[in-house]
Structure 1
Amino acid sequence: MQTAEIQRRWLDFFGQRGHTVVPSASLIADDPTVMFTIAGMVPFIPYLTGLVPAPYPRATSVQKCIRTLDIEEVGKTTRHGTFFQMNGNFSFGDYFKEQAIAYAWELLTTSERDGGLGFDEKDLWVTVYEDDDEAIDYWRRVAGLPLERIQRLGKEDNYWSTGQPGPAGPCSEIYFDRGPKYGPDGGPAVDDSRYLEIWNLVFMQYLIDDVRSKTEFRIVSELPKKNIDTGMGMERVAFLKQGVENMYEIDQVRPVLDRAAELSGRRYGADHEDDVRMRVIADHVRSSLMLMTDGVTPGNEGRGYILRRLLRRSIRAMRLLGVEEPTFAELFSASRDAMQTAYPEVAREYDRVSRLALGEEETFLRTLSSGTTILDLAVADAKQKGSSGLAGDTAFLLHDTFGFPIDLTLEMAEEAGLSVDRAAFDSLMSEQRARAKADARAKKQSLADLSVYREFRAKGETVFTGYEYLQTESSVLGLIVDGAPVHQATVGQIAEVILGETSLYAESGGQDADAGSIVGDGFDLEVLDVQRPVKGLISHKVQVRAGEVSVGAAATTVVDPAYRHAAAQAHSATHLVHAALRQTLGHEAHQSGSYNKAGYMRLDFGWNQALSLETRSEIEEIANAAIHDDLEVVTRIMPLDEARSMGAMALFGEKYGDTVRMVDIGGPWSRELCAGTHVSSSAQVGLISLTSESSVGSSNRRVEALVGHDAFRELAAERAIVSQLTSTLKTPREQLPDRIAELVAGLKAAEKRIAQFEAQALQSRVPELAASALKSDGVTTVIDHLGSVSSGDDIRGLVTAVRSRLGSEPAVVALSGIAGGKPLVIVATNEAARERGIKAGVLAKAAAGALGGGGGGKDDLAQGGGADASAVPAALDAVRAGLAPV
């Protein structure tokens, strides 16, 4: 049974039983404390916890998930996959324990011919929480399971909570017996390799507090509405139904594994280490494909870093299989073909995803080349010192700075006959992880406890009226100060205000929050920020400027009209620039992020090379031509599928409901899904001035622009500069570029002539310096300070010229100078001096030590430098001291 067929059967089964079929949410989690959607129930948490009223009594989904905590275990076991799919059915105060068990048993044991999954009842076991006699009774009565195939386990295994005060409850897990080949008898309590968990049913029925650990908490009471949250592991069921050994061999993953085997010339199943590498490649390529399809791009932080790590581990694994050439074109196309039946968007977005993947592969292959060079130098240095191993900090530097995988370092060091101080490397990695976890904890603790919004959200959604009105009358539903609900807020306090209606735009979709105020009888509140802390609720962060505001008071939201207009200009300008980009560069230049506020916009888009000045000018001209054409801006509310069928652009990673707002500028000229505020015609944007274009990653670029009056002011300032230049240089504006180029060329020529004169002046000192030579212990020396020089080249030329004047007897020349504010010492020796063991590199290094820097070089000519110019006398004394024993 193909994986896509399991997905279809699941959704059909629960859909036919009154469950709302909910499409998979993005892999990019809504929760700011979590990077990815890590479980099937994550999108439903607000409903399960009661934070947001559920829009339906029961639901079902097949949710895309990513987990990266066990990334090092991928490929080694049957159960660790980075990307996986969780089939879930949910009840929000509707059915409970008995019905959840009945549904699970029916779907699992109904024959394939009748639409079920066709598992044999005799192969299924269950575990329950040790005190949950009710669940045991249902399993016996509903499913007919004998007691010997129902096992009681403790809180560690069969009790669910978020780890925080709130809903919790026992759970019951369903296991499939794979047979004696995979382990001993005795059920899941004895061996969870033979008995494979395929489905977990969580009975969310209690409210807990005083949470001290996973197993230590206090049950406060039963929940007024009991919820069901279940999850069936798609990949586990798929490999059981397809008769293969593990999740890496199912139909959605195996094609990538097979392609990796073909490209490497290795056979899957012939060597354990090779098998693990092929499974890593298959998992990571699929995971990367799905992440990039959902809008994640490779980067050095957050989600982008995780994606980059997956891609680089794939490249590393291919290299360990003996393949050093690019392979992503083959591997990703194989994954696309395997996944597109279940997820058609994979095919739709493949051109963009492929370009990102190939760009990252090309970059990392160059990085591997650089890292290999550094590793080769470290190996040579270790061997020269007689060491049998590489230091842990060297391995960590390669890993942390260059992205050079530790496995590759170990392999290459072993090939060179060296070990790696793995303990020191692991210690440094642990320190880095501890810092990262501390940062994550700090970030999580800095976020307000969202449960404070529960009672406000229960009163309904905040109605946003700002598309039509700049002022709206409402009432204060709640006040929050320092994270806790209060009845009133007084002058000077910072508070959050919850209203029933508001005309103030909350930050979202890349648009900054509105500026404005909230006023009422006896109070005046300055709006500092407007946010959506939970879905459907708008919170206004305010400072009380005058009076006292209380819960229940009538209040009017007042938007600053000038700010709103400028913000609408900027947001519409973002759409115009996006359309101009795609018209100029092609459809692959898809927006990957944006930010706009009054007078300013920036837009990130997928592209892997800098834009020329001509291209930037063309984009700017197209966008401003659209302003000149006064295109009508129309917003419409419609079903998501209808908007997409009309060609509406959606921002990758954004969450859209079944009903969306589509913004047209000039009809199909620019058509995007957008909840932001906009002007009513493109002419109202006024003016767009692109100010910069830069890189924000290996496959992403960013353009920034000023809009409206801000753009005019910037151009006016540039005009003033041009006017000043034309006056100063007495040159017409159109001739300024040539005139400035002429002046720059003349300046460079003058600087060159001056440098030549200075070099000649220095060379004229050669006779004087040679005449100042001293002789001691058979060695002639010239050691002197030259003062300020243009560059180290001047000193170097003088040193070699003086050395040639000193004849064939042993001679050493050491001259210092200050170039660009930094002290330098250059040392030269002749052949006779070197025969006596005098090395320029050793002397230069000694001088550099006195200067607080570093140095070295060849035996005949070397250089040292530092930062402390006052230490030049000490540096020259260090050279003399280095000569004294000879």
Structure 2
Amino acid sequence: MRTAEIRKRWLTFFEENGHTVVPSASVISDDPSILFNIAGMVQFIPYLTGREPAPFARATSVQKCVRTQDIEEVGKTTRHGTFFQMNGNFSFGDYFKAEAIRFAWQLLTHPESAGGLGFDPDRLWATVHHDDAETVDLWLAETSVPRERIQFRGSDDNFWHTGGPGPGGYCSEIYYDRGPGYGVEGGPEADEDRYIEIWNLVFMEFELSAVRSKTDFDIAGDLPAKNIDTGMGLERVAFLKQGVENMYEIDEVFPVLGAASRLSGRTYGAVEVDDVRMRVVADHVRSALVIIGDGVRPANEGRGYILRRLLRRAVRAMRLLGVTEPVLPHLLPLSMEVMKASYPDLETDFERISRVAYAEETAFLRTLESGTQLLAGAVDRVGAGGDISGDIAFALHDTHGFPIDLTLEMAAEHGVSVDEEGFRGLMQEQRERARADAKSKKGGGADLSAYSQLLDEGASEFVGYDGLTSDARIRGLVADGGAVDRAAAGDTLDLVLDVTPFYAEAGGQRADRGIVRGDGFTARVLDVQAPVKGLSAHRIEVLEGELTRGADVFAEVDPDHRFAAAQAHSATHLVHSALRTVLGPHAVQAGSLNQPGYMRFDYAYPDALTPAMRAEIEDAANVAVRDDLAVSYEYLPLDDAKRSGALALFGEKYPSVVRVVDIGGPFSRELCGGTHIGRTSQVGPISLLSEASVGSGTRRVEASVGLDAFRGLARERTILRSLSEMLKVPGTDVPGRVESLLERLKDAERRIAEMGRDRVLAASAEAVASARDLRGVRYSATDLGDVADAGDVRSFVTDVRNRIDASAVVVAAAATVGGKPSVVVAADAGAQARGLRAGDLVKRACGELGGGGGGKPDLAQGGGQDPARIPQALDAIAAVISTS
């Protein structure tokens, strides 16, 4: 049964049983402090915890998830995967244990012909919490599972909670027995390799007052409404239904693994280290496909860094398998083909997805070149047999994107070792810094009870529309999720005021910054968030003195930061209106980001902007700036606001009374809670920087605003003037002149490459004629001198080997490529039968050059440091042959 079919049967079954089918949320978490969604219940957290009323009584979904903490373990075991899909069914105060158990048993055991998954009921086991006897009775009443196949387990396995005070409850897990060939008898308690967990039923029924660990917590009482949250791992069920050994061999993963095997010439299942690398490739290519599909681009931090790491690890793994040319054009389309049945947008948006992935591979291949230079310099300093420091290995990893095993491989080729212990020590320091940084951020699964208690005392009153300062009182201080009474100089924590002029990040607009002062203390406001709706939490750094709960303060927003953010937010409204004017009313907003000097705007539109469209949009927005339109706002009932023509923003949930921002009467009218300038002339110039697709049917424009836009245009003017002077043409002629020069350069490079290739191939006849007999082996050795492309040397040796008519042939060629000696050796089947393997011969030759090398028995390549010793290197091969 194909994975997409299992997915379809899941959704159909629960829809027929009264559940609302909810599409998967993006793998990108809505919480800016969490990189990716890691569980099927993430989008339902507000309903499960009671923070928001659920719009449906029961729901079902298949959620895309990305788990990043186990990336290093991917491939080493068959349990770890980066991207996975979690099937879930949920009840929000509707049904509870009995129905959840009944639904699970029916779907699992009903025959495939009846729409079920067709699992043999005699091979299913259940586990329950050792204090949850009620659930044992329900298993016996609702299913045919016998009592001996129900096992009790502790809280470590069969109790769920958030990690802090709040909801929690017992779990009941369903396991499938794979049979005696996979381990010992005795159920999940005896062997979780044989007995595979396929479904976890969480019965959310308790209110926890304290959580000290996974297994140590206090239950304060029952929740007012009992909820169901279940999860079935789609890939895990797929490999069981498809009769394969693990998730890497299912229909949505194995085709990429098979392609990696074919490209590398390595057989999957033959060598464990190769198997690990092929599994890494299959997992990471699929994960990158989905992550790019949801709008992430490679970067040096956050989600973009995870994506970059996945792509580079995939390319690296293929390199370690012996494939040095670009591989993603072979692998990514295969992954898309097997995934499109479940996610059709991957096919419709594949042109953008592939462009992003291929560009990253190309960039990584370039970093390999720069990193190789750093490594070569280190090799020169330590000499053959030396040890490269952990600092160099860490710089290769952190700056050039070299994974440590790639550094180890390349160092071994040059005959040196690497201080792995020093490298791993630096990596651990980096991880600890990252963990400390992550700990300082608030997450969706964090303990919000301290904030909820403060909200019970009253919401934060925002007065920042009318002024940038206000008197206020400290209502609360929160550090590491808990309420504290005071904070001293050097502390960083959250401050809650009864009244605040500080805008909390919302609607795409970044938060205000500024200062809070009081009697004997000063604190800098770094950020403002709303951890619970209606409450503003100011992230502060105490600069001097001591703050205490209840103290009076004077709060002051940084006026320059606020004005620049307001410029960007108003510019977003102008660009939105200009887009709708040029493209039509269907080009509606799908997300935005506004911060000082910069705006980003996502909108619904199927096609890329032409240069003419882009110019027209930019012009329309700047005409609105020139016209100095008035910016005003009013509060209206939601229905009245909509009738007045006000546009609602993407994904927003509005109260009954809303704020309407009006720019120039009919030019722009939107529901918006952000801050704005007074007239459009204050926005300053708007300069569109880029336009690109960020998902199927969704595109993004980016622009600089105000002084940043002016400075950017001034820099471009200076660059154009410099080019005009260098090329000695007017500025308007610079593009044509550059295009002409590039064509001439390409033509010259092509002719140089052809001349070099012709020279190398011309030497092949002489190499064939000069081959000598060494103990029954025909040996040809050639020094080709300076060569631009090492690939020409490989072509040369294979050509000469094929042209020498003898029972055993070894061909060696050396050349200087980029100032470094390179040696390529080819050995035919007859030579290999004599024990002469190309990989061994090239290592011997490169030893003479102060380097190393390796490869396959029939063709191998290596390098070194001293081109002057090329004759000795070729003679060394002859010596080995002569003694064979």
* TM-score (norm: length of structure 1): 0.62
Q: Any idea what SS the aligned residue of 2:383 has?
A: helix
Q: Residue 233 of structure 1: CA displacement?
A: 0.2
CA distance in 2, matches of 1:272, 1:212: 41
Summarize deviations over 1:353-399 as a string: whole Å, max 9, x none: 22221221111111112222322333343335x53x43333322322
Aligned pair partner of 1:409 in 395, 407, 417: 407
User: Is 1:624 aligned with 2:622?
Assistant: yes
Q: Any idea what SS the aligned residue of 1:209 has?
A: strand
User: Which residue is equivalent to 1:533?
Assistant: 530
Q: Are residues 311 and 221 of structure 1, via their aligned partners in 2, closer, same or farther at CA, if it must alter by over 3 Å?
A: same
User: Which residue is equivalent to 1:219?
Assistant: 219
Q: Residue 614 of structure 1: CA displacement?
A: 13
User: Which residue is equivalent to 2:40?
Assistant: 40
Q: Residue 292 of structure 1: CA displacement?
A: 1.7
User: Which residue is equivalent to 1:511?
Assistant: 509
Structure 1 unmatched ranges of 5 or more: 487-493, 517-527, 544-550, 552-558, 607-612, 638-642, 723-733, 743-886
Summarize deviations over 1:291-346 as a string: whole Å, max 9, x none: 12222221111222111111110110111121111222232222222222222332
Q: Are residues 286 and 582 of structure 1, via their aligned partners in 2, closer, same or farther at CA, if it must alter by over 3 Å?
A: farther
Summarize deviations over 1:631-678 as a string: whole Å, max 9, x none: 99999x9xxxxx9xxxx999xxx8667999999999xx9999988688
User: Which residue is equivalent to 2:374?
Assistant: 374
Q: Residue 31 of structure 1: CA displacement?
A: 3.3
User: Is 1:432 aligned with 2:430?
Assistant: yes
CA contact (8 A) 1:38 1:65 kept: yes
CA distance in 2, matches of 1:593, 1:248: 38
CA contact (8 A) 1:26 1:655 kept: no
Q: Are residues 395 and 321 of structure 1, via their aligned partners in 2, closer, same or farther at CA, if it must alter by over 3 Å?
A: same
User: Is 1:355 aligned with 2:352?
Assistant: no
Q: Are residues 595 and 312 of structure 1, via their aligned partners in 2, closer, same or farther at CA, if it must alter by over 3 Å?
A: same
Q: Residue 209 of structure 1: CA displacement?
A: 3.4
User: Is 1:602 aligned with 2:611?
Assistant: no
- The 10-residue stretch of structure 1 (260-269 or 159-168) with the greater mean CA deviation from structure 2: 260-269
User: Which residue is equivalent to 1:835?
Assistant: none
Q: Any idea what SS the aligned residue of 1:197 has?
A: strand
User: Which residue is equivalent to 1:159?
Assistant: 159
Q: Are residues 230 and 460 of structure 1, via their aligned partners in 2, closer, same or farther at CA, if it must alter by over 3 Å?
A: farther
Q: Residue 685 of structure 1: CA displacement?
A: 6.1
CA contact (8 A) 1:46 1:52 kept: yes
User: Which residue is equivalent to 2:135?
Assistant: 135
CA distance in 2, matches of 1:617, 1:678: 25
Q: Residue 235 of structure 1: CA displacement?
A: 0.6
Identity of aligned residues (%): 56
CA contact (8 A) 1:602 1:704 kept: yes
Q: Are residues 407 and 615 of structure 1, via their aligned partners in 2, closer, same or farther at CA, if it must alter by over 3 Å?
A: farther
User: Which residue is equivalent to 2:322?
Assistant: 322
CA contact (8 A) 2:253 2:282 kept: yes
- 1:89-128 equivalence runs, <5 A: 89-128=89-128
Q: Residue 533 of structure 1: CA displacement?
A: 2.4
CA distance in 1, matches of 2:270, 2:16: 46
User: Which residue is equivalent to 1:83?
Assistant: 83
CA distance in 1, matches of 2:439, 2:568: 36
User: Which residue is equivalent to 1:261?
Assistant: 261
CA distance in 2, matches of 1:510, 1:695: 18
Q: Are residues 156 and 415 of structure 1, via their aligned partners in 2, closer, same or farther at CA, if it must alter by over 3 Å?
A: same
Quick one: which amino acid aligns to residue 396 of structure 2?
Answer: L
User: Which residue is equivalent to 1:870?
Assistant: none
CA contact (8 A) 1:52 1:535 kept: no
Q: Which protein has the larger Cα radius of gyration, Structure 1 or Structure 2?
A: 1
User: Is 1:277 aligned with 2:277?
Assistant: yes
CA distance in 2, matches of 1:584, 1:354: 29
* TM-score (norm: length of structure 2): 0.62
CA distance in 1, matches of 2:513, 2:411: 60
CA distance in 1, matches of 2:17, 2:162: 28
- The 10-residue stretch of structure 1 (322-331 or 561-570) with the greater mean CA deviation from structure 2: 561-570
CA contact (8 A) 1:127 1:153 kept: yes
Q: Residue 601 of structure 1: CA displacement?
A: 3.8
CA contact (8 A) 1:573 1:601 kept: no
Q: Residue 561 of structure 1: CA displacement?
A: 15
Q: Are residues 655 and 117 of structure 1, via their aligned partners in 2, closer, same or farther at CA, if it must alter by over 3 Å?
A: farther
CA contact (8 A) 2:508 2:591 kept: no
Q: Residue 49 of structure 1: CA displacement?
A: 2.4
Q: Any idea what SS the aligned residue of 1:7 has?
A: helix
Summarize deviations over 1:127-179 as a string: whole Å, max 9, x none: 11122211111112211211221111222222222221222222111111112
Q: Residue 105 of structure 1: CA displacement?
A: 0.8
Q: Residue 480 of structure 1: CA displacement?
A: 5.0
Summarize deviations over 1:246-278 as a string: whole Å, max 9, x none: 212222222322332333333433433222212
Quick one: which amino acid aligns to residue 599 of structure 2?
Answer: R
User: Is 1:689 aligned with 2:685?
Assistant: yes
Q: Are residues 165 and 358 of structure 1, via their aligned partners in 2, closer, same or farther at CA, if it must alter by over 3 Å?
A: same
- The 10-residue stretch of structure 1 (403-412 or 571-580) with the greater mean CA deviation from structure 2: 571-580
CA distance in 1, matches of 2:199, 2:630: 53
User: Which residue is equivalent to 2:244?
Assistant: 244
Q: Are residues 529 and 67 of structure 1, via their aligned partners in 2, closer, same or farther at CA, if it must alter by over 3 Å?
A: closer
User: Which residue is equivalent to 1:364?
Assistant: 364
Q: Residue 37 of structure 1: CA displacement?
A: 0.8
CA distance in 2, matches of 1:205, 1:569: 48
CA contact (8 A) 1:51 1:453 kept: no
Summarize deviations over 1:483-518 as a string: whole Å, max 9, x none: 8999xxxxxxx974789xx999853232256999xx
User: Which residue is equivalent to 2:421?
Assistant: 423
Quick one: which amino acid aligns to residue 297 of structure 2?
Answer: T
Summarize deviations over 1:818-875 as a string: whole Å, max 9, x none: xxxxxxxxxxxxxxxxxxxxxxxxxxxxxxxxxxxxxxxxxxxxxxxxxxxxxxxxxx
CA contact (8 A) 2:83 2:286 kept: yes
- The 10-residue stretch of structure 1 (49-58 or 360-369) with the greater mean CA deviation from structure 2: 49-58
CA contact (8 A) 2:158 2:171 kept: yes
Q: Are residues 135 and 59 of structure 1, via their aligned partners in 2, closer, same or farther at CA, if it must alter by over 3 Å?
A: same
User: Is 1:62 aligned with 2:59?
Assistant: no
Q: Are residues 671 and 28 of structure 1, via their aligned partners in 2, closer, same or farther at CA, if it must alter by over 3 Å?
A: farther
Q: Residue 615 of structure 1: CA displacement?
A: 13
CA distance in 2, matches of 1:321, 1:506: 50
CA distance in 2, matches of 1:665, 1:21: 40
CA distance in 1, matches of 2:250, 2:622: 52
Q: Are residues 570 and 372 of structure 1, via their aligned partners in 2, closer, same or farther at CA, if it must alter by over 3 Å?
A: closer
CA contact (8 A) 2:130 2:153 kept: yes
- 1:830-849 equivalence runs, <5 A: none
Quick one: which amino acid aligns to residue 435 of structure 2?
Answer: K
Summarize deviations over 1:579-614 as a string: whole Å, max 9, x none: 9899999x9xx99963246xx5434899xxxxxx99
Quick one: which amino acid aligns to residue 248 of structure 1?
Answer: Y
Q: Any idea what SS the aligned residue of 2:530 has?
A: strand
- 1:175-574 equivalence runs, <5 A: 175-384=175-384, 386-387=385-386, 389-444=387-442, 449-454=447-452, 480=476, 496=496, 507-512=505-510, 533-534=530-531, 537=534, 539=536, 570-574=568-572
Q: Residue 8 of structure 1: CA displacement?
A: 1.8
Q: Residue 626 of structure 1: CA displacement?
A: 6.5
CA contact (8 A) 2:86 2:232 kept: yes
Q: Any idea what SS the aligned residue of 1:5 has?
A: helix
CA distance in 1, matches of 2:383, 2:539: 66
Q: Any idea what SS the aligned residue of 2:440 has?
A: helix
Q: Are residues 37 and 327 of structure 1, via their aligned partners in 2, closer, same or farther at CA, if it must alter by over 3 Å?
A: same
Q: Any idea what SS the aligned residue of 1:104 has?
A: helix
Q: Are residues 318 and 582 of structure 1, via their aligned partners in 2, closer, same or farther at CA, if it must alter by over 3 Å?
A: farther
Q: Any idea what SS the aligned residue of 1:443 has?
A: coil
Q: Are residues 470 and 190 of structure 1, via their aligned partners in 2, closer, same or farther at CA, if it must alter by over 3 Å?
A: same
Quick one: which amino acid aligns to residue 399 of structure 1?
Answer: H
CA contact (8 A) 1:574 1:603 kept: yes
